Amino acid sequence: MAQNQHVDGGEKPIVIISEPKVRERRKKRLRRQRLTSNGTVAAAVMVFAALVAVVVANTPAYEAVHHFLMEPLTLGVGPLVGTLSVEVFVNDFLMAVFFLLVGIELKYEMTVGELKNPRQAALPMLAAVGGVVVPALIYVAFNVGGPGIGGWAIPMATDIAFALGVMSLLGDRVAPATKVFFSTLAIADDILAIVVIALFYGHAPSIPWIAASLACVLVLALLNYARVYTARSYVVVGLALWFCMFNSGIHATLAGVVLALFLPCTSDIRLTALRPWLESKSRELDNAYDGDLDVLGQHGFTRIASGVERVMHRVTPPLQRMEHAITVPVNFVILPIFAFVNAQVRLIGVDPMAIVSDPVTLGSFFGALVGKPVGIILVTWVLVKVGFARLPRGVDWHQVTGVGIMGGLGFTMSILISGLAFTEPAEVLAAKCAILSCSVVAAVVGCIYMMATGRKGRASSEG
């Protein structure tokens, strides 16, 4: 690790890590961090896990995997003890951690991001409404009066991580403003999906457990009001909230979103005073340093350094600390596990034509593939034509069309909703087949369209 110091008009690196092997390990860690922060890599890992699940589901190993997923797990903290299967643990507990990350992203956008300026965010957010309503209507049109009507929300969700990962493959063919537009749209899409899950896909409500959940929310609010900046306190209450919501009839994954909304997004360190304070500590370190002593004997020096370390740790708000802690596990552990568990599409002994012609398949597939772009483009066009909003600088109608097509990538949330909507294996199978095939088609068609129109579209918009 080094920093630059100006010497005779040039810059000389100051090496502060003495051990060459430690420096080399640090370089490797930084390379891993760059790899794990790449959305394309994360999306590829999730897709690979889904492909492995499809292959395993159609081999003799399926029975063993299915048996393992049905194995009971007992979880508990003190008097709070519950039993659930491995599959439910993945879909209800691990996905609550994923929803925590979604909630952190939502709070970030509402605090300093695109959602902070309602006027600027209005166009993609309203376009998201169109991208939710039209797919649901198309699904209903295929399933009205049938047993699959409960899956109307399946085609309305967009997998932002998956879609942005695919978009990143297109490089400069996608304008930066288009990525911002799509990110805002997908965040609004997530909000709508969360609301739909909370309102329509819970179980019969339990008043005592709902009251206990509200009590946990009140404790989170009090922690925030009392300016508690220790993330650990919020996590403990968040675990209790998850347990209460799991038993309340409200889908337990929403506990992650609630927890995120109460995590402090400010620091208890006064940033305007930080630099003078660090300068004073730097002088104290200079005075305390004794070059004749080993580091174990530098008691004053290490005491001052530890104090600086504690303060610098607190500069980062708990919201960001939590995000840094869970992003890699969510992207490279939780989502791949979720994909493997839920993409168990077993086609052995199944009539392919029965799946293709199933109204659930047709509604899910065409709802996402056709309804998403139609809803997004139509609402955007109307709002621009009536003068309510203008397309962001650098975004043209080719880019909006590409965004609409990419909106059909509804992997994670759509699979989650399909598991909540149906109890019959045939309906779940039909929904999953539609979701997987539609995500592949939307990704391929979206890439081809934006590769063909990206440069020309951006040139015309900038001109």
pLDDT, tens only, 84-93: 889 989 988 9
Residues 247, 204: Cα–Cα separation, whole Å:
10
Among 258, 279, 223, which residue's Cα sits nearest to residue 96? Answer: 258
Residues 30, 25: Cα–Cα separation, whole Å:
9
**Weakest mean pLDDT among 147-156, 175-184, 370-379, 441-450:** 175-184
pLDDT for the residue 14 = 67
The mean pLDDT of the chain is: 86
Among 97, 89, 255, 98, which residue's Cα sits nearest to residue 161? Answer: 98
**458 band by pLDDT with thresholds 50, 70 and 90:** very low
Among 37, 101, 93, which residue's Cα sits nearest to residue 322? Answer: 101
The single-letter code of the amino acid at 222 is: L
**Do residues 188 and 203 touch, judged by C-beta distance below 8 A?**
no
- Predicted confidence (pLDDT) at residue 392 exceeds the cutoff of 70: yes
Average pLDDT over residues 404-428: 89
Q: Is 410 exposed, middle or buried (0-12, 13-18, 19+ CB in 10 A)?
A: buried
pLDDT for the residue 215 = 96
**173 band by pLDDT with thresholds 50, 70 and 90:** confident
**Do residues 185 and 167 touch, judged by C-beta distance below 8 A?**
no
The DSSP bridge partners found for residue 76 are 81
**15 band by pLDDT with thresholds 50, 70 and 90:** low
pLDDT for the residue 129 = 93
- Predicted confidence (pLDDT) at residue 132 exceeds the cutoff of 90: yes
271 or 367, higher pLDDT: 367
Residues 48, 9: Cα–Cα separation, whole Å:
51
- Helices 425-462 and 397-406 cross at an angle (nearest 10°) of 160
What would the 3-class secondary structure string for the chain be?
A: CEEEEEECCEEEEEECCCCHHHHHHHHHHHHHHHHHCCHHHHHHHHHHHHHHHHHHHCCCCHHHHHHHHCCEEEEEECCEEEEEEHHHHHHHHHHHHHHHHHHHHHHHHHHCCHHHCHHHHHHHHHHHHHHHHHHHHHHHHHHCCCHHHHHCCHHHCCCHHHHHHHHHCCHHHCCHHHHHHHHHHHHHHHHHHHHHHHHHCCCCCCHHHHHHHHHHHHHHHHHHHCCCCCHHHHHHHHHHHHHHHHHHCCCCCHHHHHHHHHCCCCCCCCHHHHHHHHHHHHHHHHHHCCCCCCHHHCHHHHHHHHHHHHHHHHHCCHHHHHHHHHHHHHHHHHHHHHHHHHCCCCCCCCCHHHHHCCHHHHHHHHHHHHHHHHHHHHHHHHHHHCCCCCCCCCCCHHHHHHHHHHCCCCHHHHHHHHHHHCCCHHHHHHHHHHHHHHHHHHHHHHHHHHHHHHHHHHHHHHC
pLDDT for the residue 11 = 58
pLDDT for the residue 454 = 67
- Predicted confidence (pLDDT) at residue 351 exceeds the cutoff of 80: yes
pLDDT for the residue 462 = 46
**Do residues 326 and 100 touch, judged by C-beta distance below 8 A?**
yes
- Helices 39-57 and 335-342 cross at an angle (nearest 10°) of 30
**Do residues 140 and 149 touch, judged by C-beta distance below 8 A?**
yes
Percent of the chain with pLDDT over 90: 41
pLDDT for the residue 195 = 86
Q: Which residue has the tokens 């009507």?
A: 149
The DSSP bridge partners found for residue 3 are 14
Average pLDDT over residues 11-21: 68
Residues 196, 56: Cα–Cα separation, whole Å:
32
**Do residues 258 and 210 touch, judged by C-beta distance below 8 A?**
no
pLDDT for the residue 33 = 77
pLDDT for the residue 10 = 52
pLDDT, tens only, 298-337: 888 889 999 899 888 889 999 999 999 999 999 899 989 9
pLDDT for the residue 5 = 47
**Do residues 208 and 244 touch, judged by C-beta distance below 8 A?**
no
pTM of the model: 0.81
pLDDT for the residue 459 = 42
Percent of the chain with pLDDT over 70: 92
Residues 395, 457: Cα–Cα separation, whole Å:
8
Phi, psi dihedrals of residue 5, rounded to the nearest 5°: -130, 130
**12 band by pLDDT with thresholds 50, 70 and 90:** low
Average pLDDT over residues 238-243: 92
**Weakest mean pLDDT among 69-83, 223-237, 250-264, 394-408:** 69-83
Q: Please, what is the Cα angle at 137 between 136 and 142, to 5 degrees?
A: 100
Residues 197, 250: Cα–Cα separation, whole Å:
9
The single-letter code of the amino acid at 357 is: S
- Predicted confidence (pLDDT) at residue 79 exceeds the cutoff of 80: no
Q: Which two tokens stand for residue 195?
A: 């609301």
pLDDT for the residue 429 = 93
6 or 443, higher pLDDT: 443
**460 band by pLDDT with thresholds 50, 70 and 90:** very low
